[in-house]
Structure 1
Amino acid sequence: MTKDVLHYDTVGSFLRPEKLKQARQDFLENKISREKLKFVEDEAIVDLVEKEKQLGLKVVTDGEFRRSYWHLDTFWGFGGIEHTIPEHGYFFHGEETRADSATVSGKIHYVENHPDVQAFSYLKELIKDDDDVTARQSIPAPAQLYVELFRDERNKKITNEFYPDHQELVADISKAYRELILDLYNHGCRDIKLDDCTWGVIVDDDFWNVFSEDGKYTRDGLQDLYLELNNGALVDLPEDLRITTHICRGNYHSTWASKGGYEPVAAHVFAKENVDAFYLEFDDERSGGFEPLRFVPKGKEVVLGIITSKKPELEDKEELKQRIKEATKYVDLENLALSTQCGFASTEEGNKLTEEDQEAKIKLVIETAKEVWS
């Protein structure tokens, strides 16, 4: 893949232009039609892809401009899932998000023409004449859907009513996801990234037990479950399909949800998840050191997210080079790459940066990578 040669990348989401934000608000208030909203989305995506190519990115995305959230919009596209409004949003460090959720309404199954497939098809068409550019589709990991279905007492109750057999729930989630992945592949997608906050929660000593389902799971038990969900969707896939994962500790309006290094989960996710590469947050002390990377199998890639997408201040290039050198104690330089630590807008609110700041961060990623891997 082109990224393996270039050793630079982004996580995928970009700040929404104000015109797009206004159009989405107008649509929610019934001031414009869905067709008009799509027209504005289309125009914004065309502009973004052109900008990505001008910056020198060889793996491009649609910025997740058709989504409100990095994860919920995908869930809402499955059969047996409905959009609900809980009493509270997610609680981040110092801020509560908008209140939206996904709740079981029947047996979970894949539905043809899923919104993510529609979104990718448009992106793919934009780069059909660019042989050196790859179109990527990011989707939330299967484990992330499972966690959402047990997010609060109401969701737990409803999920257990539809799925008294827990293994049936796990199997249905994995199956729906595998069918989404194969549908994306059939529409030309060769690069799919699974965004996953579940591991970023388990690493937090003060937070992981919130997801233990009232003591049903130990920390190791949760990891076994999440591996089963994710790997269950990644069986018998085409050999030319690149599957990667991004592990996040929360990214909303420049705030975060959890803390902790990767050591508690490394022997599970790094050693056993069936992906080709790991996109990992290492932008501040909350992420811990590089030592857990010793569990990454030889030959798998690690994309070091050591340039933050949460703040506009630019990192020192020499310090970035030194951190990359430190990581080579555990992963060969040829199997490392550089990116921002997360997307710039995991939700449509976006982080507290300007589009100029966003561009400067991407330029720093590319310039540093070209100097390190020259």
Structure 2
Amino acid sequence: MNLPILPTTVVGSYSLPKWLEVIRELHKQGQITDEELEEAHDNAVKACIKDQEIAGVDVITDGELRRETMVYFFTKRIYGFKTDGKMKPIGNLDPTIQMPDPIIFDKVKRIGSIGVAKHWEFLQGHTSRETKVTITGPQMLAKRATNEFYKDERELIQDLADILREEIIEVANAGCKLIQIDEPVWVGYPEDLPWLVEIFNKMIDGINAKFCLHICYGNYQLKRLFKGQYSDLFPALLDVNADQLSLEFAVNNAEPLELFKKYGTRGKEIVVGVIDVKDPNIETPEIVASRIRVILDVIEPEKIWLSPDCGMKFMPRNRAFAKLKAMVEGAKIIREEIKN
């Protein structure tokens, strides 16, 4: 990738247009054809691309705007899940934050392409910027489902990882250079980390792409979902063979920084969250710059990427756009300081 120092990117999702939700509902009712729904998705993605380009983001995504949710998009396209589950808490912090969970009724199996490569090709064909794709990780898919088949959760997560590996290979073969795996639930289950890292490394082994692992505290409706702390994951987290770690820094006053002071980065690039997506206030470029300066005291600039803390799906589009612009302008301030 041809990128400046301190490249800017996004975690994945972008503000979901209300009109797209309406069209999806009309499609469920049979009033909109499959072709018309696809056109609506195309137009939403094009608008998302344009926002990121105008804001000046260096490495962009399609905003995940074709996905029902980061979970349902995958579970609806993998055999072994059915979608008539009951309401269930998403995380372990607030039991009132719930969504209906899919049910695992049989051994999960790949039934063909999930479609990530096709969607990346659309993104790549409509921008001159560098791009990446995001894929929900196997533990997230497992934890957001009601398991009525597997006796061993590790076996379930391994099976899901095997399915996702085939999807990742398809994406890499299409030409995507940067693939991000999203595992927000890792924070909630630190006791499982050793074998989760083992499964993760096996899932991406030998695939010709750059990999990023994103771990957050959950972000449904801009609310935190998990009780755990990043400190519960270190230093075992550094054993992942991802090239990048993407973590929240803005919402927690750069909490992970002490961990990297203590354990180092083992040569990994760190994607630093410099935009607090849970804060409705829009950061100024100087606020962003001040957050970056703190990071530079610990991590060399060549190893730092910049992003929002998490996805932007649940915020108004004007706020999401303004926050991205602030991130980019803040990065420019620090680039000039480094240059001089």
Tell me the TM-score normalized by structure 2.
Answer: 0.89
Aligned residue among 338, 341, 364 for 2:309: 341
Aligned to 2:335: 373
* Identity fraction in percent: 24
Distance in 2 (alpha carbons) for counterparts of 1:338 and 1:167 = 33
Secondary structure, in 3 states, of the residue corresponding to 1:81? strand
Distance in 1 (alpha carbons) for counterparts of 2:141 and 2:95 = 22
Distance in 1 (alpha carbons) for counterparts of 2:224 and 2:252 = 13
Distance in 2 (alpha carbons) for counterparts of 1:102 and 1:235 = 29
Unaligned runs of 5+ in 1: 150-154, 203-218
Instruction: Rate the CA distance shift 1:186–1:304 in 2: closer, same or farther, 3 A.
Output: same
Aligned residue among 221, 235, 253 for 2:205: 235
Instruction: Rate the CA distance shift 1:124–1:316 in 2: closer, same or farther, 3 A.
Output: closer
Deviations 1:56-109 (A, max 9, x none): 223221111111212231232223333232233525866845533233233323
Aligned to 2:25: 25
Residues 92-131 of structure 1: pairs in structure 2 closer than 5 A: 96-97=96-97, 99-127=99-127, 130=128
Secondary structure, in 3 states, of the residue corresponding to 1:25? helix
1:327 and 2:295 are equivalent in the alignment: yes
Aligned to 1:276: 243
Instruction: Rate the CA distance shift 1:296–1:148 in 2: closer, same or farther, 3 A.
Output: farther
Instruction: Rate the CA distance shift 1:51–1:315 in 2: closer, same or farther, 3 A.
Output: closer
1:250 and 2:246 are equivalent in the alignment: no
State the Cα distance separating 1:279 from its structure 2 match.
1.2
Distance in 2 (alpha carbons) for counterparts of 1:323 and 1:53 = 23
1:148 and 2:144 are equivalent in the alignment: yes
Amino acid at match of 2:330: T
Distance in 1 (alpha carbons) for counterparts of 2:187 and 2:307 = 18
Amino acid at match of 2:159: D
Asked whether the 8 Å contact 2:181–2:214 carries over to 1, the reply is yes
Secondary structure, in 3 states, of the residue corresponding to 2:102? strand
Aligned to 1:72: 72
Aligned to 1:158: 149
1:46 and 2:42 are equivalent in the alignment: no
State the Cα distance separating 1:364 from its structure 2 match.
0.7
1:356 and 2:324 are equivalent in the alignment: no
State the Cα distance separating 1:289 from its structure 2 match.
4.7
State the Cα distance separating 1:171 from its structure 2 match.
3.5
Asked whether the 8 Å contact 1:262–1:287 carries over to 2, the reply is no
Tell me the TM-score normalized by structure 1.
Answer: 0.81
Aligned to 1:214: none
1:137 and 2:124 are equivalent in the alignment: no
Distance in 2 (alpha carbons) for counterparts of 1:38 and 1:73 = 15
Distance in 1 (alpha carbons) for counterparts of 2:164 and 2:300 = 32
Instruction: Rate the CA distance shift 1:298–1:307 in 2: closer, same or farther, 3 A.
Output: same
Amino acid at match of 1:235: D
State the Cα distance separating 1:359 from its structure 2 match.
1.1
Asked whether the 8 Å contact 2:17–2:44 carries over to 1, the reply is yes
State the Cα distance separating 1:267 from its structure 2 match.
0.6
Distance in 1 (alpha carbons) for counterparts of 2:287 and 2:211 = 30
Secondary structure, in 3 states, of the residue corresponding to 1:224? helix
Amino acid at match of 2:294: E
Asked whether the 8 Å contact 1:142–1:229 carries over to 2, the reply is no
Distance in 1 (alpha carbons) for counterparts of 2:308 and 2:42 = 25
Count of residues paired in the alignment: 335
Instruction: Rate the CA distance shift 1:325–1:237 in 2: closer, same or farther, 3 A.
Output: same
Secondary structure, in 3 states, of the residue corresponding to 1:193? strand
State the Cα distance separating 1:276 from its structure 2 match.
0.9
Asked whether the 8 Å contact 1:84–1:100 carries over to 2, the reply is yes
RMSD: 2.5
Asked whether the 8 Å contact 1:193–1:244 carries over to 2, the reply is yes
Distance in 1 (alpha carbons) for counterparts of 2:218 and 2:9 = 19
Aligned to 2:172: 185
Secondary structure, in 3 states, of the residue corresponding to 1:126? coil
Aligned to 2:186: 199
Asked whether the 8 Å contact 1:171–1:232 carries over to 2, the reply is no
Instruction: Rate the CA distance shift 1:255–1:75 in 2: closer, same or farther, 3 A.
Output: same
Distance in 2 (alpha carbons) for counterparts of 1:234 and 1:338 = 23
